[in-house]
A and B are shown apart, each in its own frame.
Chain A
Amino acid sequence: MKRLVFVLLLLASPAFARDETTIFAAASLSGAFKEMGKKYRFNFAGSQQLAAQLEQGAPADVFASADEQWMSYAREHGLIAGEPRVFARNRLVVITPKSNPGRVDRIADLARPGVKVLIGVENVPIGRYARQVLTKHSSDFARRVLGNVVSQEENVKAIVTKIALGEADAGFVYVSDATPAVRRMPIPDEVNVIAAYPIAVVKNAPHAEAAQAFVNFLLSREGQAILVKHGFLPAENSRP
């Protein structure tokens, strides 16, 4: 019995989790971040989910969000230390299956009746950005495209997978998420949005020094090059 209690306590102690710097990062960063080094432990999920986990006291050293909103949320709730810094930017793109069954060739085609559109849930960054793109086009266009939405996905990777499988005709994702398995249809610059990715060291981080080093590496020329390789725009982008 004593031994059982001991084992349970061991499982619950932070020591059981391998002593590694833990990075909480938006799902869209998974490809690029995995290339940043093997000595980190990553937790990839929707930014809003990560913020909720931090709030519940999940042990983390770094928080990288896909939008300013959830970083502000974390800051207002006293979850991070110091000032967040933007380390990457991202644009949106419309993806379709390779065979393009919905004949989506221009952004206007998304409003054609019967086209099956996938979009992120409104409170996930990718869902909010996609809605911004639609309203930038026109509010009537936004209404018609939203009428074509067959599912509101809770993260960007699910949209890519379902489009790659050919189950829907078009979806809004980040440029960095568009894998070779899908066809890209660029969104004109005048209606596109630029997503800014802020990063910060978590308050009372168990590995504050290593966490700061990770942030510095991301902002270094080498770190930025890896991000660009994965389809992101560099941190210092003059465009709005």
Chain B
Amino acid sequence: MIRAAAVGAGVLLLLLLGIPIASLILRVPAASLATRMADPAIQEALRLSLVTTLISTLLIVLIGTPVAYVLATRDFPGKRVVETLIDLPMVLPPTVAGLALLLAFGRMGIAGKILGFGLPFTTLAVIVAQVFMAAPFFIAPARAGFAALDRRLLDAAATLRASEGYAFARVVLPLTLPSLTAGAAMACARALGEFGATITFAGNLPGVTQTMPLAVYVAFQSDLEAAIVLSVLLMILSFGLLLGLRAATGRMGPASSLAAPIAR
């Protein structure tokens, strides 16, 4: 009974995910695909998406790693509030985030006035929106990875007179690499798909702020074929990213066997 229910639920979910994706792929205009892909407008959106996503993922890893480590290993007053604040963009409607960013970093905004210039309508605004929306997708798994680390390994390193920095680089990082990679790939995928905060905060201008998801939206309103090509392209990129992540973390071993290399 339970087994039948599980199979039924699984089939239902697969259909729910599979039918829309298949419908999109079936509508790809095979005849004009090559000319579509060579369209400078599509290439421009693709290039902008790849460049901004790469930069925002790097920034997220650079800023997110120390934050996740501190959250996993230290206690301080107000920690719960800080953690909730970091998680917030995951559940916030992206348009709300975009509006908040606009009010903060616009030239009339609080931060914008301090900076002396406004971020909206610049490529930098696209990156800021992506970092804002995608950072929690890195920090959550990274924090879990750091928290699951056996503290005795660090104590052992300390008795061998390893400095804290040396221990972090040679003990902590290698052991938590699967979690960090998983988080980075999730954040990267989220940044690639970012739409609402970008169009609200950064605007929509080809070559400057019009990333792939924005190009899909604009194309949908006039040129369905172009929208389908862009959508499938975006889907293949995201699918490849997540599949690559599975393959990579599979090689590195599951998170549960983090200490396995040491035990051997």
Interface residues of A (CB under 8 A from B): 46, 48-49, 52, 101, 116, 121-124, 149-154, 158, 162, 165-168
Within 8 A of A (CB), among B205-232: 205-206, 209, 217-218, 220-222
Nearest Cβ in chain B — how far from A76, in angstroms?
A: 15
Contact check, A154 vs B199: say whether CB atoms are below 8 A apart: yes
Q: Chain A interface: which of B21-29, B84-92, B103-111?
A: B103-111
Contact in complex: B107, A166 (CB < 8 Å): yes
Contacts of B203 in A (CB 8 A): 150-153, 162
Known A154-B199, A165-B108, A167-B118: A149·B205 in contact at CB below 8 Å: yes
From the candidates B102, B205, B209, name the one contacting A165 in the complex (CB within 8 A).
Answer: B102
A167 touches B102 (CB 8 A): yes
Assess whether A151 is in contact with B121, with CB atoms less than 8 Å apart. yes
Chain B, interface size: which category?
Answer: 20 to 34
> What chain B residues lie within 8 Å of A151 (beta carbons)?
120-121, 202-205, 209
- Residues of chain B within 8 A (CB-CB) of A149 are 205
Rounded to whole Å, the gap between the CB of A3 and the closest CB of chain B is 15
CA distance A167 to B202 in the complex (A): 11
State in angstroms the CA–CA spacing of A201 and B200 once bound together. Answer: 33
Which single residue of chain A is at the shortest CB-CB distance from B118? A167
Q: Hey, which chain A residues are within 8 Å of B204, CB to CB?
A: 121, 151-154
**B residues 172-226 with Cβ under 8 Å of A?**
199-200, 202-206, 209, 217-218, 220-222
B216 vs chain A, min Cβ distance (A)? 12
Contact A123 B121 (CB under 8 A): no
A52 touches B205 (CB 8 A): no
Interchain CA distance A191-B148 in the complex, whole Å: 68
Complex alpha-carbon distance, A150 and B102, angstroms: 15
Taken together as a complex, chains A and B put the C-alpha atoms of A158 and B218 apart, in Å, by 14
B102 and A121 contacting across the interface, CB-CB below 8 Å: no
Give the contacting residue for B220; candidates A52, A116, A124, A152; CB below 8 A.
A52
- 10 closest A-B pairs by beta carbon, nearest first, are A151-B203, A123-B222, A150-B121, A166-B108, A48-B221, A167-B106, A167-B120, A152-B204, A151-B121, A151-B205
Residues of B within 8 A of A (CB): 102-103, 106-108, 118, 120-121, 199-200, 202-206, 209, 217-218, 220-222
Task: Report the separation of the CA atoms of residues A49 and B227 in the bound assembly, to the nearest whole angstrom.
Answer: 14
Residue of B107, B202, B203, B218 ringed by the most chain A CB atoms within 10 A = B203
Chain A residue at minimum C-beta to C-beta distance from B206: A152
Most buried by A among B121, B199, B217: B121
- Chain A's closest residue to B107 (CB) is A167
Closest to B199 in A: A154
The reply to whether A124 and B221 form a contact with Cβ atoms under 8 Å apart is yes
6 contacts between A and B (CB under 8 A): A121-B221, A150-B121, A150-B203, A151-B202, A167-B102, A167-B120
CB of A154 within 8 A of CB of B108, answer no
For the A-B complex with A124-B221, A151-B121, A154-B217 known, give 8 more contacts whose Cβ atoms are closer than 8 Å. A121-B218, A150-B203, A152-B203, A152-B206, A154-B218, A162-B102, A167-B102, A167-B106
B106 close to A165 (CB less than 8 A): yes
Chain B nearest CB: distance from A20 CB in Å? 26
Q: Measured between alpha carbons, how far is A161 from B221 in the docked complex, in Å? A: 22
User: CA A154 – CA B206 in complex, angstroms?
Assistant: 13
B39 nearest CB across to chain A (Å) = 16
Inside 8 A of B220's CB, which chain A residues have their CB?
52
CA distance A65 to B256 in the complex (A): 58
Instruction: Check B205 against A150 for contact (C-beta < 8 Å).
Output: yes
